[in-house]
Structure 1
Amino acid sequence: MDPIRNPFAPGAGSPPPELAGRSAVRERMRQCIGRLRIGRPAKSMMLIGLRGAGKTVLLFQMLKDAERDGAITIRIEAPEGRSLPALLAPQIRLVLLKLNRWSQAQAYAVRGLRALAGFAGKLKATYGDIEVGLDYEPEPGLADNGELEGDLAMLLEQVGRAAQAADTAVAIFIDELQYVKESELEALISALHRVSQQQLPITLVGAGLPQLRGKMGEAKTYAERMFEFPEIGSLSPSDARAAIVIPIENEGERIEDDAVALIIEQTQGYPYFLQEWGKHAWDDAARSPISAADVRNATQQAVVTLDESFFRVRFDRLTPKEKAYLRAMAALGPGPHRSGDIAEALHRPTTSLGPIRSSLIAKGMIWSPTHGDTAFTVPLFDDFMKRVMPMEKTGDIAASG
């Protein structure tokens, strides 16, 4: 099989050749944009899921869908260590400059740019990483109180009024939203609540790990009434099959049914893993159709590749104590697990492990599905931990805590 024609694309955020199983979520976004453009209310959306479930890919596809439907979009990633105002301000400026091209929206867009000048100027003292070009002088009293929640609400209100005048909508797409500080997340939710009350055409589509839902509820108790929270998980067997078979057939080649079944079994239907297995199965096959034997031969290389990249990049960020904690979880199985069971496996009091658990949650390695439970945020990470840390090597690390 020609590797140059290999259709599969494993990579961080790389769009797959066939985006299977996500049409319902995309349709909800299409309806949201359509309703906003005619002045009807619509909930914003949070894509919730584990690593490798395809949230980033879906987020970008929904952005393209929104642009096709006539919306103006903002796309940002919320990396650790950057403030939300610093990420938003330059993008809001670009949106306002676009809206300024509509004659009927110019006055509102200019006022929005004045609001942005006040917003950035007053919050610079608090958020030193704000860097944005200023096109107009600030208007006194407009988004310049120096308090994020009120100023962001006033700024988005001006953006919404300009979009309304231009008969369009603004869709803000934020990836890795779980990394936004709670105070900044609170301000964002509050600002969106304000523009929603005024029926202004602004929506937010975020993506994050499962703990994001709880974090938003803690930031604002009414958040769950403002947002939809579609869970982006592993694909159904039929959708997983489509993700493998359609790209191969589009290249004029075939894959046997038992080979597809084996890939789905090995990957548990997670989109990133499907791409990895599909790539290696194609490269390993000498000819079409790809067989189950080809998939079995490719599995070892697929696992090695995942260990060296997808899993290793997360493992290398961990301290020895954090690695020991995750290894103890892995010994108990895929999870979720009770905190007391993990502590017992480490021969430690549960209370002594609280800081380690909190650190792992902050790093996005684990989350708590229910009170007292702990689960991996990365699918198949328990198997990786067993490979990279054989049980006999964990005793000294656990005891050192």
Structure 2
Amino acid sequence: MDPRANPYAPGAGYPPPELAGRDEVINKAAISLDRTKNRRSARGCIFYGLRGVGKTVLLNKIRQDAEAEGMAIVSIEAPEDRSLPGILIPALRATLLRLNRGEAAKTAVSNAIRTLASFAKAMKVRYQDIDISFDAAPEPGAADSGDLESDLGELLMAVGDAAVERKTAVVMAIDELQYVPEEQLAALIAALHKVNQRQLPVTIMAAGLPQLVGQSGRAKSYAERLFEFVPIDRLDEVAATAALCRPAEREGVSFTDDAIGEILKQTRGYPYFLQEWGKHSWDIATSSPISGDDARAASIAALAQLDASFFRVRFDRLAPAEKRYMRAMADLGPGPHRSGDIAERLGKKVTTVAPIRSSMIGKGMLYSPSHGDTAFTVPLFDGFMRRIMPPPFDGNGAS
């Protein structure tokens, strides 16, 4: 069929043509944001789950809805190699400057900009990735002690006062939050706790991998009372079918039951994979309805595409020892697996391979769903590892 009319949208954070199965989560976030804006007790939301479940899409949807309600958004994606101040300062500066437009400058907004300038000046001494200039002069004695936890709390309270003055809320939308180092995450949690105690309209909507829950708890023991940790999982059969079929139906195209069954089996209900299989099924089919044979051919094409991009870019980040570790995991199946079983497959002691495991958890490739267990953060990655490092595999790197 005509690829120009293909309705599917596989890609990193691309909004799907049918955002199925997420209404409850979106509504929960909307209630939290409305309560925050009205200075009522509310907890920020942290969405966590594997790669490919649509966390970024969900976060973007919530951000867009909040913007439509007149809220001020501080939009951030946390990379592995940047400090929290380094990514927060320019994003917060842009948000405050937007708040300062449209009418005569307000006292609290101007004060927040000067406080941010003070914060940036103080943090430059400690963090080397801050390179930004301010037209406003720093506010002496405001958020400039050099202690991140204390200064960030003071800064966010100034931001909260600015939001009150503008009759709005400031929402920090942070993706990939698991990459923020725990010491800096602790400072962010403590700062949000301070503004929460004063009922200032500043909150967080964030997304990250499953290890984020444990990281937050280790950073500050009260994190579970400050935030709503919302698991985002694959779609159930009804929602997955809707995500797959409705975009095609709007174009006058349908799937046979055989095709739907094949695609749901292969994708396991993961939203990103549904988009890949939908796209390839459409391109392969010559007419409606899309058949089971079309879907099976699409499975071959979709896996080849994933192997060349989605999986491959993650594989290429791994050191040789990390690749061997993940290949041993793949031999054991999708997981999760006991760390001892993986070490045994490698012919090594658990203590010997523990640093490799820790490194890959830090890279966001693995997580520990429970003590002593290890699992892939990328669904279907076990199959990719078996394809990319075929047998014989002896645990010592031979293949």
Query: What TM-score, normalized by structure 2, do the two folds share?
Result: 0.97
Q: How does 1:98-113 map to 2 (within 5 A)?
A: 98-101=98-101, 106-113=106-113
Q: What amino acid is aligned across from residue 36 of structure 2 in structure 1?
A: L
Equivalent-residue separation in structure 2 for 1:117 and 1:225 (angstroms): 31
Displacement of 1:7:
0.5
Displacement of 1:160:
0.5
Quick check: 1:71–1:170 contact (8 Å CA) kept in 2? yes
Task: Give CA-to-partner distance per residue, 1:148-179, whole Å, 9 cap, x none.
Answer: 11111111101101111211111111111111
Q: What amino acid is aligned across from residue 18 of structure 1 in structure 2?
A: E
Equivalent-residue separation in structure 1 for 2:394 and 2:4 (angstroms): 43
Displacement of 1:226:
0.6
Task: Give CA-to-partner distance per residue, 1:116-135, whole Å, 9 cap, x none.
Answer: 11101111111121123313
Aligned: 1:134 with 2:134: yes
Equivalent-residue separation in structure 1 for 2:131 and 2:263 (angstroms): 47
Relative distance call for 1:347 and 1:12 in structure 2 (3 A) is: same
Displacement of 1:391:
2.6
Quick check: 1:321–1:398 contact (8 Å CA) kept in 2? no
Aligned: 1:337 with 2:329: no
Q: How does 1:298-313 map to 2 (within 5 A)?
A: 298-313=298-313
> Comparing 209-218 with 387-396, which one deviates more in the overlay?
387-396
1:76 maps to which residue? Answer: 76
Q: What amino acid is aligned across from residue 121 of structure 1 in structure 2?
A: K
Aligned: 1:219 with 2:219: yes
Residue segments in structure 2 that go unaligned for 5+ positions in a row: none
Quick check: 1:113–1:135 contact (8 Å CA) kept in 2? no
Equivalent-residue separation in structure 2 for 1:105 and 1:166 (angstroms): 11
Q: What amino acid is aligned across from residue 200 of structure 1 in structure 2?
A: L
Q: How does 1:354-369 map to 2 (within 5 A)?
A: 354-369=354-369
Q: What amino acid is aligned across from residue 127 of structure 1 in structure 2?
A: Y
Count of residues in correspondence between the two structures:
399
Displacement of 1:81:
0.8
Give the match's secondary structure for 1:164. Answer: helix
Give the match's secondary structure for 2:168. Answer: coil
> Comparing 1-10 with 257-266, which one deviates more in the overlay?
257-266
Give the match's secondary structure for 1:391. Answer: coil
Give the match's secondary structure for 2:61. Answer: helix
Q: How does 1:2-401 map to 2 (within 5 A)?
A: 2-101=2-101, 106-397=106-397
Quick check: 1:339–1:373 contact (8 Å CA) kept in 2? yes
Structure 1 ranges of 4+ moved more than 6 A: none
Equivalent-residue separation in structure 1 for 2:253 and 2:398 (angstroms): 51
Equivalent-residue separation in structure 2 for 1:20 and 1:167 (angstroms): 33
Give the match's secondary structure for 1:212. Answer: helix
Equivalent-residue separation in structure 2 for 1:99 and 1:311 (angstroms): 41
Displacement of 1:86:
1.2
Displacement of 1:398:
7.0
Equivalent-residue separation in structure 2 for 1:221 and 1:16 (angstroms): 36
Task: Give CA-to-partner distance per residue, 1:29-56, whole Å, 9 cap, x none.
Answer: 1111211122101101111010111111
Q: What amino acid is aligned across from residue 27 of structure 1 in structure 2?
A: N
Equivalent-residue separation in structure 2 for 1:395 and 1:92 (angstroms): 48
Quick check: 1:338–1:373 contact (8 Å CA) kept in 2? yes
Equivalent-residue separation in structure 2 for 1:349 and 1:133 (angstroms): 51
Equivalent-residue separation in structure 1 for 2:179 and 2:13 (angstroms): 18
Equivalent-residue separation in structure 2 for 1:132 and 1:95 (angstroms): 15
Quick check: 2:324–2:396 contact (8 Å CA) kept in 1? no
Quick check: 1:327–1:394 contact (8 Å CA) kept in 2? no
> Comparing 322-331 with 194-203, which one deviates more in the overlay?
322-331
Task: Give CA-to-partner distance per residue, 1:75-109, whole Å, 9 cap, x none.
Answer: 11101111110111112112222222376971000
Displacement of 1:260:
1.2
Displacement of 1:257:
2.1
Give the match's secondary structure for 1:229. Answer: strand
Displacement of 1:395:
4.0
Relative distance call for 1:104 and 1:39 in structure 2 (3 A) is: farther
Equivalent-residue separation in structure 2 for 1:350 and 1:143 (angstroms): 45
Relative distance call for 1:197 and 1:104 in structure 2 (3 A) is: farther
Equivalent-residue separation in structure 2 for 1:183 and 1:236 (angstroms): 37
Q: What amino acid is aligned across from residue 244 of structure 1 in structure 2?
A: L
Q: What amino acid is aligned across from residue 341 of structure 1 in structure 2?
A: D
Displacement of 1:394:
4.5
Give the match's secondary structure for 2:159. Answer: helix
Equivalent-residue separation in structure 2 for 1:212 and 1:8 (angstroms): 30
Q: What amino acid is aligned across from residue 237 of structure 2 in structure 1?
A: P
Equivalent-residue separation in structure 1 for 2:23 and 2:268 (angstroms): 20
